[in-house]
Amino acid sequence: MGGAERVERNELRERAAERAAAHDRPHPPPRVRLDLPLVRRRGWLPEYDPEAFGRTSERIARFLGTGRFIVWMTVVIIIWVVWNTTVPGHLRFDNYPFIFLTLMLSLQASYAAPLILLAQNRQDDRDRVNLEQDRKQNERSIADTEYLTREIAALRMGLGEVATRDWIRSEFQELVKDLEQRRVFPEESEERDR
């Protein structure tokens, strides 16, 4: 029984070693379909949705460019300065040189500038796409116009060979004149015969 147990333990060790080796071996990546987005591996950095971040930055940049933001910012600064100059010393949190206020304004500016640039870049991308679509639409319109111009020219050339109303009217008028002249002359010839 000792030998059978040893063989069994060896087999178990070999299977465990095979599993460990298979686990350590890089697996071939699953077949990637071109119609599906690439699934990214979990990385060290937190993941975020770039579109959601971009939309949020555009909203912030839009707000930073309004009069409402300027009014609120002015109100906050006035309250800050009045509070730190008029209240008793032990309630003040930022004394006269207002270093903490300067730090807050610098921090706000350091975040506002990149957010505004990000919003502008997104707008540039949208404008670029719109211009490309407009260019393609203009090319299609020009091609359609050229096609219609050729068709109208072909119709005019075809109508040049077709009898028009004015031409038929003029032909009828000439025939009527010819018939009148023929009728007139035979009457004259009959009168001469008498």
Alpha-carbon dihedral sign for residues 90, 95, 98, 99: negative
Condensed to tens digits (0 to 9), the pLDDT of residues 26-42 reads: 555 666 677 777 777 77
Which residues are CB-neighbours of 115 under 8 A, at least 6 positions away? Answer: 57, 60, 61, 64
Mean pLDDT of 80-92: 92
CA pair distance 101, 81, nearest whole angstrom: 9
Q: Which tokens is 94 given? A: 């930022």
C-alpha distances in angstroms, 84 versus 71, 76, 94, 104, 105?
A: 20, 12, 6, 15, 16
Task: Please tell me the number of Cα atoms within 13 Å of 181 on its side-chain side.
Answer: 6
Q: Which has the higher per-residue pLDDT, 52 or 191?
A: 52
Least confident of 46-60, 98-112, 137-151: 46-60
* Mean of pLDDT over the chain: 84
The percent of residues in the chain predicted with pLDDT above 70, rounded, is 83
CA pair distance 17, 8, nearest whole angstrom: 14
